[in-house]
Structure 1
Amino acid sequence: MPARSHDPNAPTADAYRHAAEPIGSVTDAYSGRLAPDLAVSTYRNIQRLFPSRTIAAGAAVRELPRSPRALGEISVVQGGEHYDLYDYLALNSVTGLLVLHRGQIRYETYQRGNGPDTRWMSMSVAKSVTSTLAGMAIHDGAIAEGLAARVGDYVPALADSAYTAVILRELLLMASGVGWNETYTDPGSDRRALLAAQLEQRPGAAMALMATLPRVAPPGTRHNYSTGETQILAEMVSRAVGRPLADYLAQKLWQPYGMEADASWWLASPQGVEIGGSGIAATLRDYARFGQFLIEGGRVAGASLLPAGWIAEATQPSVLAGGESIDYGYMWWSGWTEPSRRDRAFAARGIHGQYLYVNPRRELVIVQHAAAPKPMGRMVIEPMSLFDAIAAALAND
């Protein structure tokens, strides 16, 4: 990795070219009530919405060389209609797309004024980062009980709640058996209550909310997608490693793997715990490097950062107590189309169209940034279908 060179457009705290742009409110973002231009300027300035902690890059950058070979024609058939890559970019409100094949950039585009220096919101892609940090904490011995660690032993605020005996594996699978409503656009949902706690910026507000939730099923028996459980995970890992998650991520991966730019991560309160389920702002290329780290087996400089077998277990369909199979691992989505299932591909995904797709079999990473007008249900062309088409196009390359 060559030494870092100074880039006047690099996203540093004192020189970020998007810094003076107008932004909307986080409530309007979750409600799907931002006009297109305002949504774009908001999503590349999310560090202004909440107190944030820097994920510091190091002095060396892992290069992402450009392949001399073009990606070629990509076509997706959906509902009897044929769509090419340009249809996809326009119809899905894509602001950045990068295809990394065998460690080389095969395609990279930026729209709506974004560029390689733009830090874009992760939304729930952050969940998969947080779960990976949990794996690192287990590998480091900070969570000695491993997947059997009990929530109540690590998060005192939940010691007398429905979560006290929930174990780490159940939390990672979002199968705690505790009730939760994730509907982003419903002001009365638990997800919006968690957002209100985040807006309050009071230490302990998020865990106070989680402590009130009722049990609705035995632990491990029912998958129920819950951003609140990722916040519990953030609390567990931060307490276990004895440092902020942003610092742990910088020490374990961001610096030694050679991420090129500082990133940032929302906090639940000033100087508090990071928001485990969202709020990372990083460049398109650094998200791609995170995917490449997984392609390479979770290793840096030849040393594994994760327990043996972690990536396969964390990213493939899981079986709950009672035998139900779910297309979800440890806060990663396993492939949900036939080609992606066949390749054992997996993805991190976030509202408004954020994706990190990883296909180890094809040595393929695809990262997408987007500004869809609503949190869910506004991807006109199914993203996994495009990723499948790219994988197929590169299969014999």
Structure 2
Amino acid sequence: MNTGAVRVTIVAMVMLAASGITSAQEAARLSAAGPVFSNTGYDANAYGANEGYPLGTLAAGAEMRHLVATYSHFDEMTPAHIVGRAAAAWSFQRAAEPEIYYSFRGERRTIADYLSRQPTTGLLVARDDTILYEHYQYARSAGDRFLSQSMAKTITAMLIGIAAADGRIKSIDDDVATYVTALAGTEYGKTPIRALLHMSSGVDFKEIYDGQDDIARLGRDLFGRPGKAPEVSVAQFDTRVAPPDTRWHYASSETEILGLVLRAATGKPVADYLSEKIWQRIGTEADATWAIDGTGQEVTFCCFNAVLRDYARFGRLLAHDGVWNGREIIPRQWLIDATTVRSSDTYLAPGVATKYYGYGYQVWLLPGAKRQFVLLGIRGQMIFVDPATKLVMVHTAVRPKAVDTDASAETIALWLAVVDQLGRGAR
């Protein structure tokens, strides 16, 4: 336990004594503030527990027995660039674990029930600078780097905002070909950067995760060896079905192009730009990694890897609208624009873009009067953010299905309960 945790525990126990509460159970709960680790989890043997959660190959990584290792050691399966950590880590404070209840399908459940029902590898809840809950399952540890999948898309969008503020990108209304000249003459090359941020290029791209769709083709191009250059791969998707910024349609190719814009505009690898502009500035405790293709370009629609607490630090930065302890890291207005639907963009609103979520700059928007948003990746990778209460929930998982709406609905129910129960008085 770190000194912050000891201090919180001692103060809390003194308060208990002053109030006359001497429950041994309560004292044990307070003294246990800190990460909790389990060697098991939901259906653990199916996930390879009896084999020590074996690491497979890229070709076999999606097999159920390999998923735990794939999603916590992906950067051992494919080349990656290092995203350097901070010289000195910024430390969260800790508080005793709260009791969290949520309702789902007419049942009242606890957060422990949730972990027993879902293949969650890591779950962390923080309120501003204090970790309230941090659990790991399937023998994962605080030192494991968890695979982001499409949560990386939001990181990419935040870097676009920084590059624009730096003057590297003159305007997000510039066409892609202004920066990525290899795409001149293609439909993507004629698309404004803003439309890519909104996943609204109007270029046809199929992403249904059946192994035969366009995202599978893009993945084979980029992760195959020697593979195709990313500019060549995305140029093959060249049929326009709608004008830019008029219709939302999820397409990972659009984030891949944003990564190409970043590299061209900044003259630096995306991993280096992230380390310099965000990762070191928020006091990260561990190096992160970002998988690269055969040309050395980061695969920016996915494949970022970081420890759970550093994901929480990034979530805290977003909760503060880009400000870290008084210092603006991401332009505040960019973050507000990224997480707000303009009156002229109603096609991006929650319930319109999708049946539930809306969409901003590569980030999912939750319905309701409050501004809340979430980073999402397939198989259950999520970072929920509530700027009003500064609550953040980081969730990593190994769901068998790439997209599981029922499982996600339960996670959302848990998050809404977290905000309701832990956000009181924090607004």
Query: TM-score over 0.5 for the alignment?
Result: yes
Return the structure number with greater relative CO, CA threshold 8 A, min gap 6.
Answer: 1
Q: Which is higher, the Rg of structure 1 or of structure 2?
A: 2
Q: CA deviation at 1:83?
A: 2.6
Match of 2:185 in 1: 160
Match of 1:241 in 2: 266
Instruction: Supply the distance in 2 between the matched residues of 1:321 and 1:59 (Cα, whole angstroms).
Output: 42
Sort the Cα spacing of 1:355 and 1:86 in 2 relative to 1 into closer, same or farther, 3 A: same
- Equivalent residue letter for 1:351: I
1:383 aligns with 2:411: yes
Match for 1:80 among 93, 100, 106?
106
Match of 1:198 in 2: 222
1:330 aligns with 2:361: yes
Deviations 1:182-203 (A, max 9, x none): 112x222100001111222447
Identity over the aligned pairs, expressed in percent?
A: 34
- Equivalent residue letter for 2:400: P
Match of 2:67 in 1: 39
Q: CA deviation at 1:127?
A: 0.4
Q: Which has the larger displacement, 360-369 or 147-156?
A: 147-156
Instruction: Supply the distance in 2 between the matched residues of 1:396 and 1:200 (Cα, whole angstroms).
Output: 50
Q: Is the 8 A contact 1:151 1:163 kept in 2?
A: yes
Q: CA deviation at 1:139?
A: 1.0
Please report the TM-score for the alignment, with normalisation by the length of structure 1.
0.87
Deviations 1:255-281 (A, max 9, x none): 1211000011000225x2111111111
Match of 2:394 in 1: 367
Sort the Cα spacing of 1:379 and 1:90 in 2 relative to 1 into closer, same or farther, 3 A: farther
Match of 1:346 in 2: 373
Instruction: Supply the distance in 2 between the matched residues of 1:293 and 1:324 (Cα, whole angstroms).
Output: 24
Instruction: Supply the distance in 2 between the matched residues of 1:277 and 1:158 (Cα, whole angstroms).
Output: 18
SS at match of 2:93: coil
Match of 2:338 in 1: 314
- Equivalent residue letter for 1:154: Y
- Equivalent residue letter for 2:380: G
Match for 1:297 among 321, 329, 338?
321
Matches within 5 A, 1:105-254: 105-145=131-171, 147-184=172-209, 186-202=210-226, 205-213=229-237, 214-254=239-279
Deviations 1:21-59 (A, max 9, x none): 732244555xxx5224x2101211101222100001122
Match of 1:16 in 2: none
Match of 2:289 in 1: 264
Q: Is the 8 A contact 2:366 2:372 kept in 1?
A: yes
SS at match of 2:222: helix
Please report the TM-score for the alignment, with normalisation by the length of structure 2.
0.81
Instruction: Supply the distance in 2 between the matched residues of 1:211 and 1:263 (Cα, whole angstroms).
Output: 30
Q: CA deviation at 1:298?
A: 1.0
Q: CA deviation at 1:209?
A: 2.4
Match of 2:88 in 1: 60
Sort the Cα spacing of 1:255 and 1:190 in 2 relative to 1 into closer, same or farther, 3 A: same
Sort the Cα spacing of 1:28 and 1:374 in 2 relative to 1 into closer, same or farther, 3 A: farther
Q: Is the 8 A contact 2:100 2:110 kept in 1?
A: yes
Match of 1:8 in 2: none
Match of 2:301 in 1: 277
Q: Is the 8 A contact 1:64 1:104 kept in 2?
A: yes
SS at match of 2:290: strand
Instruction: Supply the distance in 1 between the matched residues of 2:157 and 2:298 (Cα, whole angstroms).
Output: 13
Count of aligned pairs:
366
Instruction: Supply the distance in 2 between the matched residues of 1:207 and 1:306 (Cα, whole angstroms).
Output: 28
CA RMSD of aligned residues (A): 2.1
Instruction: Supply the distance in 2 between the matched residues of 1:284 and 1:324 (Cα, whole angstroms).
Output: 30
